[in-house]
Structures are given as structure tokens and as C-alpha cells.
Amino acid sequence: MFVNEVQIRKTTRMLHIFRNEFSKYDRLNSSTETNFFYGILQLSFTYSNFPPFELTCLLIKARNVQLITINIFMQNKIYIYWFNQFRVAKTTHFDLILKSSTLHPVGSSNLSKLRHLDQQEQLLSSPAASARKLPPVSNPLLFLSATQLAKKIRRKEVSSVEVVQAYIDRIQEVNPFVNAVVKDRFAAALQEAAQVDKLIEEETGGEDVLEDRLPLLGVPLSVKESFSLQGMPLSTGLLSRRGVVASVDAPPVALLKRAGAIPLGVTNTSELCMWLESHNHLYGISCNPYDLERIVGGSSGGEGSILGAAGSVIGVGSDIGGSIRIPCFFNGIFGHKTTPGVVSCENQYPPTSGTQHEYLSSGPMCRYAEDLLPMLKIMAGPNAHKLSLNAAVDLKKLRFFSIPHDGGSLYSYPVSNELLDAQEKVVKRLEADLGVKVQEVCFPELRYSFQIWDAYMGLPDEEGKPPVAFAELMGAPGRPAWAFWELLKRMVGKSEHTMPAILLALFEKTRLSKASPFIIQQKEALQKKMEELLGTDGVLLYPPHPRVAPKHHHPLFRPFDFAYTGILNILGLPVTQCPLGVGEEGLPLGVQVVAGKLQDHLTLAVALYLEKTFGGWRDPGAK
């Protein structure tokens, strides 16, 4: 099995055609990496006896392979490997496939995306991008929490217009790099900010009245695109929902607006919010502000990215398997998965079905820990009384526990030493600063975290109705997507869906984990142990993921690592994701802080301590 000289000449000729036609032939970059095998192979020759993934393995093992071409859908680039020279040629045209002796663009939307790619190419050639970093934050207003900004606005120390304009400027500066905000409402936001300034000028009741009635008056806000925000798109990256516009506000968004917050726009998600990388064919892929070659997490990834890039100060996310916590971890910010049933999850797309409403939580995302509590008070609305958010917390009186890993799951990878060390540092600081003893515990049931999450996500509701199939959500109303057909279309670049969505629809038909008696037993045993351990005064430290933010599309080969967050959805526990500085590669480190049901105030108090101790959010553009 080898590529002969004729085929090499054909492919070389195609490369020349590509270079001459699009003038986008990028510089050769020396590399010895050979692990970028994503998506479906598009070969310069035909070998039809093997399915594409099997053929991948054979080609990798074949020492005499000289040239193959691969469409990996990675940052809209094609990677072409010379195995004998270990060189990579990068091109930047969208979804071009080198196949046989023809070269052609795929998809009707390609030409419309070329202009965006041209702009992105220019930006990525800047000094900041060459170092894979964003421009540093220059406006001092961007270093203030939402709580501080609201206070300054109420006191007329700064106008809401100034604050909103500062964030608009920052979004316009960084969004071409990170592609996080997919639709803005800047003009409307500035008008609303001007109205806020006028209201403050005319207010006669004083600052206290404004603080009590409008605690976030004049503060900018960003919103995950899966939440209804009146007048904004509500597609969750699905091409068939292009043009769908929200006519109302989702309850948490409405409550934040009622408290005075001003939405700036909506942010990117994974397709239908069911993958841990925010990438879809409607808006494209979002990039990590700490390293543009890394993922932002999902499904609230655009939200995490723009917050981490200092393009927003507070945001709204949702979480059914880690969709708040993973983006917060990867982007170095704070986020809180509330106890389920406290913050409304209505007017989101896609809606839950089966028993999924028991595991979905909406919650706050922000750069500064002090904003979590006031945001949660507002977002909880009439259910705020269920939480003891006004109770004082004495950290020295809490019981602390630590679980460093899941015990060796067959599905998830081991936790990296870097994250193990970061969590151990938290343990040592807690013991040194507070005089507490952090007890390390081990629950063998955690080894089945993915199986438990997968099985319980597929349970029927009280009436016996199963969850809506993912393929139905992918397709048009009444016409579910045929996953195998979409996979074939993907092989030739014709599918409207991302590879993770297609694979999920395929695997859903043969769900990996059934709600067997064994799995139910493991879940119930774990639930009992966790609730007994935490009680009303216990706090648990647990890794958010086995590794720091991976490179784009790498999760395709480690798809079950989200189980570290997903299991806590099934257990119904509140969790705050906290940043712990950056690691060896300059990427954020972090830890999950877990408490018993309805004890959200405990994890929020620990978040304040960890921010003070480890520094919290870091400017990704700082030297």
C-alpha cells in the first residue's frame, strides 16, 4: 500500500492549482506531530476495501506511505502530511477536499466565508496572534467586576455609556481572533446605556434605592445563544434554524435585564449544545483566548471565550454535562452549576425531554468571584429562597474533602500531573490558611461516571415517554436526520452537520450504556455516599477534566472525558468551577468545588477564597 509517483505528481499539480487560484498557500512549518487525524480521510487515491477509519490505522502504520491528503475540519484548514519529511503544509481555504485529480470547494457557503478567512488570516499574522495570544487589556474599566462597575455607575463615577463602549471596543478587538460573539446588539446597548445614565441623573431616592431595585444597573452582559434573548438568533448552530429569532427573553435573561444589565449580544455554542467544543457550520469555531489553537469547551464555549478574553464581565450559561464548568475551566473564569430546579431553564433550545430536566442547570459565568452570588440571587428569581444565599459562611467550620481522580475509568483518560498538583496545592493552602483537615476519599462508583450519565440521560419521563432523539433535533420538523447518510455526505464535504453531531446521532441508536440494574445500583450507591459525605457543611474538591484545554478537534478521540463534570449533573449537586492560575503551557488550571443539594452558598464562599489565594482570572494578553 503506497502512493506512487504518478499520484504524487497529480497531488502536487493540485497544490499548484490551489496556490495560483486562491493565493493562500501558507508557509511550511516544521513539525514532528502526526496526531492530527480528525474527521474522515479524503485520500488522493482510492482504496475502497476498507472503511475510512480502518484505513487510517493501516496508513499510519505503513512506513512506506509518502503522501496522503486529509480533510480534518480543523480551523477550516487542510493538513497535508509528508511522512518521510515530517512537514506540514497549511492552507486556509474552507473545507477544500483534495480527491483523485480534482480540486473543488465544498458547500454553497464557502465563497461567503472566504472574506472572513481573509480577515482572519491577516489577524493571525499579527505579532499577538503569532504568539497565539490576544492583545492585552488596556482599558482599566475592564479590570473591574460587575459589582464594582454597578457601584461606580450608581455613584456617577463612570457612565454606563463609557462602560458599555469599553466592552464593545474590546469585543471588536478580540472577536476576530476568538469568534465568540456570533450576533451583537451594540447600537441598542448604547441606547439603553444612555437611558441608564439619564435615569441615574433623575433618581432622587439615592444610591441605596438604585442598588436595591437595580443591582446591575448599566452593566454589560453576554448571553449564550441557546437562551432566548428577544430579537437575537436562537439556532444553537443548526443551519436549518438559520433565521430563527427569539421573540421573548428566557427567564434568567429577563431577570438580569430587569436588574439593569444590558445585553451586548449572544455567543457561540456547539451544534445543538451537545459537545464539548463550540463549533458548528452556522457560526464556525470559537478559539481559546489563552491559545488560539485550543478549544473553548462547550456547549457554553463562546460565553467562556469572550469572558476569558475580557470582552464581557458577566454571562449566562447552561449545563447538562459540564457545559458551564468545562468552558469556565478552559478559559480561566468562574462559573456555577446551580442545584437543579432553582434557576429556570425555560425558553432554551433545544428543550429537554425524558428526565433531562432533572440534570440541566442554568447559571452565572463571570471573571470575578464576587459576581457569582449577586447574579445567582437575581437569576433564581422566585426560587432564591430555596438557597441560603444571605447566610454567612465560616470556612473554618466547613468539612473539606478531595477526590483527585475517578479511580480509573475505562472511558476517560487519567488526570494529568499538572491538574493533580494544582488540586494538591489547594488542599495544602486550605490546611495551612484555615487550619482544617482535607480528607482524601475514594468512591469506586466514579469509575462508571460516563456509563451513569449516558444511561440516565436516556431515561423516559414519568409518563414513559423517552427523550427526543438527537437525530430528530438535527433534522427538519417531522424528518429526522439519517445519521449514516450524513456520515457519507460528510466524507465528501456535503453534510450540514459537524462530525460530533453525526457520531452522536449514530451512537445514540446503540446507546453505549443502558440503565441496567448494575448501572442503577452504582448511581444510587454513589448518590447515597455523596449526600452522606457532604451533608449541609461539606465541600468536595474534584478535577473538572483530565487535562487542560486541548487543541481543536482533539476531543473527537477522547470524547468521554466530560464525565468528570457530567456525573455531578446526574447527582444533582451544586458546583462552582474556579480558576487556579495558569500552567506550564500558559493554559488555565482549575478545580470543581462541590457541595450538598441546595448548599450553593458554600461553594460560592470557597470560590471567593480561591480567587484571593490563587489570583483568579488572568489577562490572556498579558506578557
Q: Give the active site residues.
A: 224, 299, 323
Q: Which of 563, 261, 240 is nearest to 412 (CA)?
A: 563
* Beta carbons of 291 and 513 less than 8 angstroms apart: no
DSSP labels, 233-280:
B--TT-GGGTT-B-SS--HHHHHHHHTT-EEEEEE---GGG-SSS-EE
Cα 541 to Cα 42, 232, 419, 425, 611: the distances in Å are 44, 38, 12, 11, 15
The β-bridge partners of 280 are: 284
Strands 77-82 and 575-582: unpaired
Burial class (CB in 10 A: 0-12, 13-18, 19+), 154: buried
Burial class (CB in 10 A: 0-12, 13-18, 19+), 533: middle
**Distance between CA 161 and CA 159 in Å, rounded?**
5
* Beta carbons of 225 and 234 less than 8 angstroms apart: yes
Helix (H, G, I), strand (E, B) or coil at 400: strand
Cα 267 to Cα 229, 285, 286, 392: the distances in Å are 11, 11, 9, 34
| Residues with Cβ within 8 Å of residue 467, at least 6 apart in sequence | 352, 353, 354, 355, 356, 457, 458, 459, 460
* Beta carbons of 560 and 545 less than 8 angstroms apart: no
Strands 438-440 and 399-402: parallel
Residue 188 CA to chain centroid, in angstroms?
Answer: 27
DSSP 298: S
Block residue for cell numbers 442503577: 520
DSSP labels, 4-37:
-HHHHHHHHHHHHHHHHHH--EEEEEE-------
Counting every residue written for the chain, the total comes to 623
**Distance between CA 384 and CA 374 in Å, rounded?**
11
Q: Beta-carbon neighbour count of residue 75 at 10 Å?
A: 20
**Distance between CA 479 and CA 501 in Å, rounded?**
16
| Buried b or exposed e, range 200-231, using 16+ CB within 10 angstroms | beeeeeeeeebeeebbbbbbbbbbbbbbbbbe
